[in-house]
Structure 1
Amino acid sequence: MTKVAIMTDSNSGISMEQAKEMGCFMLNMPIIIDQKTYIENEDIDTDFFYDSQSKDANVTSSQPSIASVMGMWDEILKEYDEIVYIPMTSALSGSCQSAIVFSEEYNGKVQVVDNHRISVTQMLSVQDALYLKDKGYDAKQIKEILEQEAYDASIYITVDTLKYLEKGGRITPSVALLGSMLKIKPVLTIQGEKLDTCAKARGMKSAFKTMIEHLKEDYETRFKEYAQKGELAVGLAYTQMSEEDVAKWAEKLHEEFPGLPLYKAPLTMSIGCHIGPGGLGTGLIRIHKE
C-alpha cells in the first residue's frame, strides 16, 4: 500500500500542536514587517503582528522560499512514497501556483491541491485528505477529489476597522473615512476565488446578522443536499479576538445551525494583513461525513 503524507501551510489556521495530533505536516508561512522576514509559528506571534500593524509598520505577507518548500518535500519523501500538499487558495497568493511548478520535478510523487480554500475551509480540506488517505486513496486520487469539491464552501468576513482595507487599496480614503464615521462594516465574501464585497452593515452585530442571512440562503440552496446527508459543517474564524468574544460568536452560530458540527480557527496573518484585528469570518463547508 502506498504511504501518503498530507501537508498544508499555516494559512489553514492549524497550530503546530494540532498538526501533530492530526498527523499532517505544516509549512509555516513568512510575514514581512518593515522589511524583516518572520516565520509564523516560529518567531512571530499574533500579539506582535497586530501591535506592529497598530503602529503603522509596513506589514505584508510573502510566499515561502523554494528551498523551504522543496526541502520539506525532500525530508517527507525519505519516509513516505507520495505527498498531498494543500496550500492556501491560488486566488489570494502565488504560493500555490509556484508549488505546482516546483512539484513537476518530483515525477508525480508530490500532488499540489488548488481547491480554493483558506483558514477553516482549508483546515477541513486537510481533515478530508487525511480521511481519504486512511481509506486507501493515493495522492493523485486525493488531489482530484479535493479539487472536484473545491467550491463546496462559502465564506463571509467582516472587519472591525476599515483602515487596512484602505491601506491595501481595496477602498478609497474617502470611503474609509465616511465608513468609519457611520460605523459601516463591509461584509466580504470568498466563493472559491478572490475576496469580494457583498454587503454593508452598521456595526458588528448587524454585519454578523447579514452574514447569517447569506449563510442560511446558501444552506437552503446549494448546500441543502449536503446538509441532509450530514456532510456539512459551519466554521468560525477571527483575527485577534478575546476568548469570550470568540465563544459568544460561536454560540450564536450554533444557535442558528444547531445540527451542524462547528469548527473554529484564527484567520491567518496573511488575511490579517488586509483586514486587521477584530475581523470575523463565518462559513459553510462540505465535509466527508466520517
Structure 2
Amino acid sequence: MNVFIAVQAAEEGKSALYIPDLLRRKREHIQFNVLVKGLEYLYKSGRVSNIHQLLGSMLRIRPIIYVNHGKGLFSCKISGNKKRVLRKLLDSILSQVHRIEQDQISIAQSMEKDTAEWIQR
C-alpha cells in the first residue's frame, strides 16, 4: 500500500523529502484483515495451542486476523465454508466504508484464483 501512495505522490509532483513524511503519516491509518485458511499454520507458529488447532479443524473455524500499527490481533473466528467466511469479511469491510478512502482499497489473494474471481463478481 505504501508503494501505491508513494507513486501517487510522485506523480502529483511531490518532492522526495515530502514523500517519506507522507508515508509515516499514512501508515498510522493503514489497516488490513487476513483470512487464514485454518488454525494449522497458527499452531505451527506457536500462536494457538494444540487443543485450539484440533477443535478449530473439527469445527472448520477460519480466523480473521486484523493488522493495525504492525501488530496482528485476532479479529474474529468464523466457522463454515470459505464463501460464508468471505461474505462475513466483506460485509465487515463494507460496514466501515464511510471510514475508508475508496481510492485506497486493495484486495490481495495468494494462490486462490477461484476465490479472487468469486470476489470480483
- Using the size of structure 2 for normalisation, the TM-score is 0.84
Retained in 2: the 8 A contact 1:200–1:207? no
Unaligned runs of 5+ in 2: none
Superposition map of 1:165-244 within 5 A: 165-203=42-80, 204-220=82-98, 222-223=99-100, 226-227=101-102, 232-241=103-112, 243-244=113-114
Q: Would you identify which runs of 4 or more consecutive aligned residues in structure 1 move more than 4 Å?
A: none
Q: Could you say if the C-alpha distance between residues 191 and 214 of structure 1 is closer, same or farther in structure 2, counting changes exceeding 3 Å? A: farther
Would you say 1:141 and 2:11 are equivalent positions?
A: no
Distance (whole Å) between structure 2 residues aligned to residue 197 and residue 133 of structure 1: 35
Retained in 2: the 8 A contact 1:187–1:197? yes
Q: 2:119 aligns to what?
A: 249
The offset of 1:210, in angstroms, is 2.3
Name which of 20, 32, 37 aligns with 1:160: 37
Distance (whole Å) between structure 1 residues aligned to residue 116 and residue 14 of structure 2: 36
Letter in 2 for 1:178: L
Distance (whole Å) between structure 2 residues aligned to residue 131 and residue 237 of structure 1: 19
C-alpha RMSD of the superposition: 1.9
3-state SS in 2 of match to 1:149: helix
3-state SS in 2 of match to 1:130: helix
Structure ranking higher in helix proportion: 2
3-state SS in 2 of match to 1:205: helix
The offset of 1:180, in angstroms, is 0.2
Tell me how many residue pairs correspond in the alignment. Answer: 120
Deviations 1:10-53 (A, max 9, x none): xxxxxxxxxxxxxxxxxxxxxxxxxxxxxxxxxxxxxxxxxxxx
- Using the size of structure 1 for normalisation, the TM-score is 0.38
Superposition map of 1:279-290 within 5 A: none
Say which structure, 1 or 2, has more relative contact order (CA 8 Å, 6+ apart): 1
Identity across the alignment (%): 22
Retained in 2: the 8 A contact 1:151–1:192? yes
Retained in 1: the 8 A contact 2:38–2:63? no
Letter in 2 for 1:236: I
Deviations 1:94-133 (A, max 9, x none): xxxxxxxxxxxxxxxxxxxxxxxxxxxx3xx212212322
Superposition map of 1:98-137 within 5 A: 122=1, 125-137=2-14
Unaligned runs of 5+ in 1: 1-121, 252-290
